[in-house]
Amino acid sequence: MPALSFVGRQAQAMVMDVSGYDFASNIHLFSVEGDHILVDVNSGAIHLLDEPAREFVTALIENQGDAAQAGARCRQLFGTEAATEVEDELKQAYDDQTLFTPVELPILNLEEMPVKALCLNVAHLCNMRCTYCFARQGDFGTEKGLMSEAVGRQALDFLISGSQDITNLEVDFFGGEPLLNWDVVCSLVAYGRKQGRKAGKNLRFTLTTNALLLDEEKMDYLVEEGISVILSLDGRREVNDRCRLLNNGQGSYDVVLPRIQQMVARNPVSYYVRGTFSRGNLDFTQDLEHLIACGFTNLSLEPAVGPYEEFAIGEEVIPRVLEEYDRLTRALWAHYQAGQEINYFHFNLDLARGPCLARRLTGCGAGGEYLAITPGGDIYPCHQFIGEEEFLMGNVETGITDPQVKQRLTRNYLSSKAECRKCWARFYCGGGCHANAYFSNGCLEIPARTACAMHRKRVECAIYLEIEKIRSKAGHVEGGGLQ
Amino acid sequence: KHLQTIVGPVLKRRECQAACKTSCVGNQ
């Protein structure tokens, strides 16, 4: 197989050998709205290609790195001068270590990874009956109940003492509906702040709510305490009210929308209006537009997951979902061009300041740095494993009593999964959701096919939008990228 | 002329944050 070499140059020093290179795993070439985008997976570098360069790289991939064939095709279509220029520029990128870079998948020992974040299920009760709820209407299929202040304090002590030298710790009040246990939430915020200060820790709190019990007093408290809020609303009234039901079976839209608007108007430290899309609204761009029209700019629309086949996004609707992500991308770009930047959670991708390689390899950290606590103090790897007895790790009173669960989760990171090692999106994903894998395939080691398809598409859309923003800010100046 | 580098080799270098709850690193 000939190496990529250049006319008029001395061979030995100027050869870029990409024969045998695993293109499928280590570069990704895709086109969005006429932009040809090339991702060099191992370096994180991203390039924009014109037509001759796209043709050359495509031919290189199709011919397993045979540069002679790639060059011939490029010359045939675009002439000798363009083909030579493309070869020179590819070689320059290779020399700069931004193209065709070698695989780097360090082996990590994550079993000693300290805890840094808790999902605190302060209520296994809910005042709504959402049809697609993975928490099975609030109790996760376990005993209904509220967390006592004593158990909550033990959980925070467990977090602070277990976090070793990590300063930034996170606690999400979750459920069920956490506002059903409001007094305990307030007590735990005060206790966490006090104990955190003593230990030199910075505790950040988040609260996820259906907004049904949000009143002015609670809103003021959340703002004053700097608590981030996640507010559940699916979008259009008819979409929301199909799934998000009050206990009396009525839709919740008219009750919760004004409260969510009041909460957002108070300018909390951070907020997301978070919706779920399911088989019933595969045209979810319409829901995004509706939420924007309601005055919200921080938005998250997530695919339904869980045991309910009539709602969860299955393989047969994936092509439709991917098509909708294209539509969503165009909508977000149109808003940006009109001067309205919408912060869409799953298209957040800071290309220059993303996490380090070790962090990307670790993924979500479930079972290690991230744990979920039930109202009774039981410890699970994450909120989605609650109620699955084989994943019970211990209790905040006794600590971790089954270290094998932690081993099982922390050993199951990106580098250990065959499919993930070969995936071009691996460093934007981190190895996927353990729970999605487990509930889809019955094992942790094989990622969920539908989740992977959606995630790869979201990464493509996010990269495209970031590139367009960079070009827009640079006034389309050649070479105006982030270096 | 033909290849514009938008982002350089950012990967050649636990305090970061650990919305969704269903599709959990790229956006950190």
Please indicate if any CB of chain B lies within 8 Å of the CB of A302: yes
Closest chain A C-alpha to B5 CA, distance in angstroms? 4
- Residue A102 near chain B (CB below 8 Å): no
Cβ neighbourhood burial of A403 (10 Å; 0-12, 13-18, 19+): exposed
Residues of B in contact with A230 (CB under 8 A): 19, 21
CA–CA separation, A275 vs A45, rounded Å? 32
pLDDT at A173 over 80: yes
What average pLDDT does range A150-162 have in this prediction? 97
Of A235 and B15, the one with more pLDDT: A235
Residue of A nearest to B12 (CA): A43
Burial degree of B3 (CB within 10 A; 0-12, 13-18, 19+) = buried
- Would the CB atoms of A346 and B27 count as touching at under 8 Å? yes
Chain A hits for B13, Cβ within 8 Å: 356-357
Q: According to the model, what pLDDT value does residue A140 have? A: 84
Angle (CA) A267-A271-A273 rounded to 5° is: 120
- Give the model's pLDDT for residue A475: 73
Task: Tell me: pLDDT of A5 over 60.
Answer: no
**Whether B20 and A134 lie within 8 Å, measured CB to CB:** no
User: Is residue A221 within 8 angstroms of chain B, CB to CB?
Assistant: no
* Cβ contact A433–B24 (<8 Å): yes
Least Cα separation, residue A247 to chain B (angstroms) = 23
| A50 contacts B2? CB cut-off 8 A | yes
In this structure, are strands A399-400 and A228-232 parallel, antiparallel, or unpaired?
unpaired
At residue B16 the predicted structure's pLDDT band, cuts being 50, 70 and 90, is confident
Determine, for residues A45 and B5 on separate chains, whether the beta-carbon distance falls below 8 Å. Answer: yes
Contacts of B18 in chain A (CB under 8 A): 116-117, 170, 364-365, 369-370
Q: Give kind and range of the element (H or E) at residue A464.
A: helix A449-473
Alpha-carbon distance B9 to nearest alpha carbon in chain A (angstroms): 5
- pLDDT in the model for residue B23: 60
Helices (H) and strands (E) counted in chain B, each on its own, are 0, 1
Interface contact A46-B28, CB threshold 8 A: no
Higher pLDDT, A145 or A224: A145
Pairwise CB contact (< 8 Å): A89 & B1: yes
**Can you give the pLDDT at residue A197?**
87
Across the interface, of A48, A85, A433, the residue whose CB is closest to B23 is: A433
Note whether B4 contacts A96, CB cutoff 8 Å. no
Q: Which helix (H) or strand (E) holds A318?
A: helix A318-337
More confident residue, A9 or A413: A413
Nearest chain B residue (CA) to A370: B18
Which of A94, A140, A301, A482 should be substituted to probe chain B, the one whose Cβ sees the most B Cβ atoms within 10 Å? A482
- Least trusted range by pLDDT, from A16-20, A398-402, A460-464, A467-471: A16-20
Size of interface A-B (CB pairs under 8 A): 173
Q: Is the CB of residue A150 less than 8 Å from the CB of residue A111?
A: no
Cα A443 versus chain centre, distance = 21
Average pLDDT (A263-270) is 94
Copy the structure tokens of residue A93: 């990128």
Q: Is A296 part of the contact surface with chain B (CB cutoff 8 Å)?
A: no
**Residues A206-223: tens digit of each pLDDT:** 899 999 999 998 999 999
**Minimal CA–CA distance to A420: which of A457, A456, A368?**
A456
Q: Do A349 and B21 touch (CB under 8 A)?
A: no
Residue B20 is nearest to which of A38, A345, A363, comparing CB atoms? Answer: A345
In this structure, of A316-325, A422-431, B10-19, the range with the lowest mean pLDDT score is: B10-19
| Summary mean pLDDT of chain A | 90
Query: For residues A449 and A476, is the Cβ–Cβ distance under 8 A?
Result: no
Q: What percent of chain A has pLDDT over 90?
A: 69
- In degrees, rounded to 5, the angle at the alpha carbon of residue A374 between the alpha carbons of residues A370 and A379 is 45
Pairing of the two strands A378-380 and A168-175? unpaired
Residues of A in contact with B28 (CB under 8 A): 354-355, 359
Instruction: Specify the range with the lowest mean pLDDT, choosing from A132-136, A168-172, A268-272, A372-376.
Output: A132-136
Higher pLDDT, A222 or B21: A222
Residues of B in contact with A174 (CB under 8 A): 21
Other C-beta atoms within 10 Å of A45: how many?
27
- Which of the four pLDDT bands, split at 50, 70 and 90, describes residue A478? very low
Which stretch of A7-11, A235-239, A301-305, A413-417 has the lowest confidence by average pLDDT? A7-11
Q: Is the peptide bond before A176 cis (omega within 30 degrees of 0)?
A: yes
Instruction: Give A12 or A365, the one with higher predicted confidence.
Output: A365
Assess A89–B contact: CB distance below 8 Å, yes or no. Answer: yes
Name which of A44, A383, A467 is nearest B11 (Cβ-Cβ): A44
Q: Which residues of B touch A304 (CB under 8 A)?
A: 22
